[in-house]
Structure 1
Amino acid sequence: MDHLISLLSPIPPSDRWWSEETTAVVTGANKGIGFEVVKKLLKLGLTVVLTARNAENGSIASDSLRRAGFQNVHFFCLDVSDPSSISAFVSWFRLNFGILDILVNNAAVSFNAVGENSIREPETIIKTNYYGAKLLTEALLPLFRRSVSVGRILNISSRLGALNKLRNPSLRQTLESEKLTYEQIDATVTQFLEDVSRGTYEKNGWPENWSDYAVSKMVLNAYSRVLARRYDGKKLSVNCFCPGFTRTSMTGGQGNHTAEEAAATVAMLVLLPPEKLTSGKFFMCVEPNKIISRL
């Protein structure tokens, strides 16, 4: 069942549980939604680590924020598709911060233009959009602050990854299962890549539009649900959010709303007071200031 949520009201001062000591990590944040999320969290008074796979672009982005007066922004070059880069980042973060409160897995790639539907470099897309977020999350899990507050993970996803896009009933049944495991998710990824290699992915019922991107987000959603179940009652909230058709470089500047509007919703979701937090949910923006919450 869907639940419409209005976001017209700003976060009241009484709900502000965070401080300058609260630390957030945002991946893929040198531009677009990621950059606006960093800016929004800085405006609200948090300490934010901006990451980007390109060192020059990331430095330019973080420097621009410092010039704008935000001194609690830090940059580290991170390519989530590279396990060694993840390891280096986690070591640096542990040494310099030690404790993490919020992780926004925003980094993602797609090689299709709007209105185009082809498969290009599916391994790269899966490696970045799914395995990158998964490996980084798993590496950072021990660092989440869960003693006095609730750790928050928000994976930026897409409605293209909704299970109703999956036309294969057997695969859909697997991913819908309440007993879904990490191994089954990874086996699904392997099967998709094998079907792409054989040229049978359309016949075997995979999503029709932006197939590789859609599958990467579908398994990210599935991973998020399993992770939420794993940490149920253990002060860690794990959710997904589809920002909708947003004007960014990935959409060629097309969209129904701005990256800044999407970022405001991301900030609201990760800054909910502990008593209002949910976990294992998929949130989807249906129009500016309104989202749908879906199990």
Structure 2
Amino acid sequence: MRGSISKSKYILKILKSWSHLDVDAIILWWSKETVAVVTGGNRGIGLEICRQLAAHGVTVILTSRDPGAGLESIKFLSEVGLSLIYHQLDILDLSSINRFIEWLKENYGGLDILVNNAGINFNLGSDNSVENARKVVETNYYGTKSMIEAMIPLMKPSVVGARIVNVSSRLGRLNGRRNRISNAALREQLSDVESLSEELINTALSTFLRQVDDGTWASGGWPQVYTDYSLSKLAVNAYTRLMARKLSDRQEHEKIFVNCYCPGWVKTALTGYAGNNTVEEGADTGVWLALLSHQPITGKFFAERREINF
């Protein structure tokens, strides 16, 4: 009896936290058997996403490139009463990804939720160096892309659909008022989801990186603030829409819903702790998307639990 009361209070707490939604439409579909993988989970928004998912009762696999940092984060969460699993994962290392695939298959048979949080940024404040542009693009876009490609075959059949959540940024918006690429023809091509392709995304990034190498990027029409980070997130946003289209014809019970979201300007190491939002606020929409019951919502971009334009 006491356990039932405790569980009811826990469910009520969840529903109150989602109070702006229609409570009657919410189905708590997840359980301890639900497996969520979070990349870059050892600090900042990734760590908070892990914490919130675990607090909801999901089995969370926290991954990080550095085992020491990851295990320290697991220890920290255990001290607040949460039990998570750790596994090393470098999203830029194919052998690391393959080891993780085999371990995941052997121990859990797959996953239900993938949160692509791992990312880097070297520019703070008014600084806009592109010295690390190649590393930023490789990590934020190609690393995310590699994880999606690797995890799709392992996503478990489900009546509510598996979920992929990509942590992105408004800085990567195609048609935002600030910081957009000035090439109108390229913007139009990237806006057309029906003709969008990996080749188009890759070509745009390759052109930018080539201009970085030859020193002409500043006149190439690219964003003038957080340039490399913005382009890497623009690519993530485009790839989110592309994968949503590609996955849309999957059979029932094999559906995979893929969305991206902007956590806002969060006080983390990525922003030099100069943000306006807390990590709790930054993680909220990502967790909401991961656990959303009234699917199908796919190929969309969100912030503060509301859809925004690409």
TM over 0.5: yes
- How far apart are the structure 2 equivalents of 1:291 and 1:255? 20
Match of 2:208 among 151, 171, 192: 192
**Which residue pairs with 1:168 in the alignment?**
183
Report 1 or 2 for greater relative contact order, CA contacts < 8 Å, sequence distance ≥ 6.
1
What is the CA distance between 1:148 and its match in structure 2?
Answer: 2.7
Alpha-carbon separation, structure 2, partners of 1:210 and 1:120? 12
Once the 2 structures are TM-superposed, how far is the Cα of residue 276 of structure 1 from its aligned partner? 3.5
- CA deviations over 1:209-230 (Å, ceiling 9, x no partner): 1111111101111111110000
The answer on whether the counterparts of 2:285 and 2:302 sit within 8 Å (CA) in structure 1 is no
Partner of 2:27: 15
Residue identity matched to 2:151: L
Residue aligning to 1:40: 52
User: CA–CA distance in 1 between the matches of 2:50 and 2:107?
Assistant: 18
Task: Select which of 123, 132, 138 maps to 1:112.
Answer: 123
Per-residue CA deviation, residues 17-39 of structure 1 (Å, 9 max, x unaligned), is 10000000111111100000000
1:94 correspondence with 2:94: no
Is the 8 Å Cα contact of residues 300 and 307 (structure 2) preserved in structure 1? no
Rg larger in 1 or in 2? Answer: 2
Q: Which residue of 1 aligns with 2:299?
A: 280
Give structure 2 stretches of 5+ with no counterpart. 1-16
Q: Counterpart of 2:217 in 1: which secondary structure?
A: coil
Q: Which runs of 4+ in 1 moved over 4 A?
A: 10-14
Question: For the Cα contact (< 8 Å) 2:38–2:50, is it kept in 1?
Answer: yes
Cα distance between partner residues in 1 of 2:61 and 2:125: 31
- Per the alignment, residue 245 of structure 1 pairs with 265
Question: Which whole-Å CA distance do the structure 2 matches of 1:281 and 1:207 have between them?
Answer: 22
Cα deviation, 1:35-71, whole Å, max 9, x if unaligned, reads: 0000000100000000111110000001221232222
Aligned-residue offset at 1:80:
0.9
Which of 139, 153, 168 aligns to 1:157? It is 168
What is the CA RMSD across the aligned residues, in angstroms? 1.7
> What does the per-residue CA deviation read over 1:141-177, in whole Å, with 9 as the maximum and x for residues that have no partner?
0111234330100100011111121111232122112
**How far is the alpha carbon of 1:293 from its aligned partner?**
3.4
Identity %: 42
SS at match of 2:166: strand
On the 8 A contact 2:112/2:156 being kept in 1, the answer is: yes
Could you tell me which residue of structure 2 aligns to residue 217 of structure 1? 233
Partners of 2:111 and 2:181 in 1: how far apart?
Answer: 35
How many pairs does the alignment contain?
283
Higher strand content, 1 or 2: 1
In structure 2, C-alpha distance between the alignment counterparts of 1:147 and 1:245, rounded to whole Å: 34
Distance 2:125 2:59 in 1: 35
- Amino acid of the structure 2 residue aligned with 1:174: Q
Match of 1:136 among 133, 143, 147: 147
Structure-1-length-normalised TM-score: 0.91
Kindly state the Cα deviation for residue 292 of structure 1 after the two structures are TM-superposed. Answer: 3.7
Code of the aligned partner of 1:149: V
* Structure 1 residues without counterparts, runs of 5 or longer: 1-6
Paired residue for 1:58, among 61, 70, 74? 70
Q: Which shifted more, 52-61 or 262-271?
A: 262-271
> In the alignment, residue 127 of structure 1 is paired with which amino acid?
E
* Equivalent position to 1:271, from 280, 291, 294: 291
User: Aligned AA for 1:270?
Assistant: A
- SS at 1:191's partner residue? helix
Q: Which amino acid aligns with 1:33?
A: I
